[in-house]
Amino acid sequence: MKTPKRLQPLVDDGLIDEVLTQLMSGKEAQVFVVRCGDDVRCAKVFKEAKQRSFKQAVQYQEGRKERNSRRARAMSKKTRYGQKEQEQAWLTAEVDALYRLAAADVRVPKPYGFVDGVLLMEMITDAQGAVAPRLDDVTLTHEQALRYHDKVITDVVRMLCAGLIHGDLSEFNVLVDAEGPVIIDLPQAVDAAGNNSAAAMLERDVDNMRAYFGRYAPELLNTHYAKEMWALYEAGELHPDSKLTGHFTFSTHIANVDELMEVIDDAKEEEAERQARMRDDDDSDEIPQPY
């Protein structure tokens, strides 16, 4: 196809040899299939700031650390330069997240760099080599639903251990390759430790997955993976290979284990005394036998 204007600089620089097709355009970006030497890759072109919708909301950006201090200073000011830097930080969030997650062994498209507002990444394919479908496009068996859900939960745990929450996880942002689910679309990724909405975002992500896979495996509808993993995360006990159960005990207050043990011991003692009294009473009720 004719090279789109936004991809021309990458063609000129030799990063892209040919633009093959355009995939379905999302709300935030256009995704193209491109040839880079012998490889076929995806090029995600982000729309201009004013065309983008909810994902740039302040709620998502809270707690993000700006490593570049010059940029951090600029962003704190409301100048045009500051806004430009803010926009740049927003655009690099997805490529940063992809590198971080690939290193944390989360199944995401392998990133190949971010140039002129364009993210180059691995194209996810199905078993035949065609562009992979989204979860929303496929029909699953009961067994597949359980297996894929398990894989997504494992990846969400690894993401959380790497300090990130997807923030927009749904059946539209998970592709299915020959092996199983692949998480995509991360520009809004949320900082798990520094964002006040982190727990709520995690819960929404995980509950979306529960509702989707629950259509094929209704027993998943009774699980509480988000609450379980957040409790472990907050306690510093979540690890990339933590095995979760999906169960969570809801309580209205934090249990004080020592206090609870004392109460149990007291109850035991009381019961022992009661039993002893009953024995005594039984003994005294007995009609005295003449010698």
Ligand X SMILES: Nc1ncnc2c1ncn2[C@@H]1O[C@H](COP(=O)(O)OP(=O)(O)OP(=O)(O)O)[C@@H](O)[C@H]1O
Which of 44/210 has CB closer to ligand X? 44
Q: x/- string (CB under 6 A) for ligand X, residues 36-75?
A: ------x-x-------------------------------
Residue among 119 and 238 whose Cβ is closer to ligand X: 119
22 phi and psi, to 5 degrees? -110, 135
Q: Does 208 help bind ligand X (rule: CB under 6 A)?
A: no
Q: Are 201 and 165 in contact (CB under 8 A)?
A: yes
The Cα 121–Cα 13 span in angstroms is 17
Choose among ligand X, Mg ion, none what residue 199 binds, the Cβ cut-off being 5 to 8 Å by kind.
Answer: none
Asked if residue 46 lies in contact with residue 28, where contact means CB atoms within 8 angstroms, the answer is: yes
Element spanning 203, H or E: helix 198-214
Q: Is 185 in the site for Mg ion (CB under 5 A)?
A: yes
Q: How far is the CB of 169 from ligand X (least distance, A)?
A: 11
* Spatial separation of the C-alpha atoms in residues 224 and 240, rounded to whole Å: 18
Residues 21-40 binding Mg ion (CB under 5 A) are 26
- CB neighbour list of residue 241: distance below 8 Å, 6 or more residues apart: none
Contacts of 210 (CB under 8 A, 6+ apart): 149, 220, 221, 223, 225
Q: What is the largest CA-CA distance in the chain?
A: 118
Q: How many CB atoms lie within 10 A of CB 249?
A: 9
Q: How many CB atoms lie within 10 A of CB 8?
A: 13
Which residues sit opposite 143 in a β-bridge? none
121 binds, among ligand X, Mg ion, none (CB under 5 to 8 A by kind): ligand X
Residue located via tokens 């409790």: 231
With a CB cutoff of 8 Å and minimum separation 6, the contacts of 142 are: 216, 217
Sign of CA dihedral 53, 126, 14, 3: negative
- Residue among 23 and 104 whose Cβ is closer to ligand X: 23
Q: Minimum distance between the CB of residue 54 and Mg ion, rounded to whole angstroms?
A: 12
Stretch in the footprint of Mg ion (CB under 5 A) among 9-17, 119-127, 169-177, 241-249: 169-177
202 three-state secondary structure:
helix
Write out the binding residues for ligand X, residues 108-127 only, by CB under 6 A: 109, 121-124
What's the min distance (Å) between Cβ of 134 and ligand X? Answer: 5
Residue nearest to ligand X (CB): 26
Task: Name which of 10 and 31 has its Cβ closer to ligand X.
Answer: 31
Smallest gap from Cβ 76 to ligand X, in A, equals 27
Q: Which residue in 64, 84, 134, 204 binds ligand X (CB under 6 A)?
A: 134
Mark 7-26 with x for binding to ligand X (rule: CB under 6 A) and - for no binding: ----------------xx-x
Q: Which is nearer to ligand X, 187 or 220 (CB)?
A: 187
> Smallest distance from the beta carbon of 20 to ligand X, in angstroms?
12
List residues near ligand X by CB under 6 A: 23-24, 26-29, 31, 42, 44, 109, 121-124, 131-132, 134, 172-173, 175, 184-185
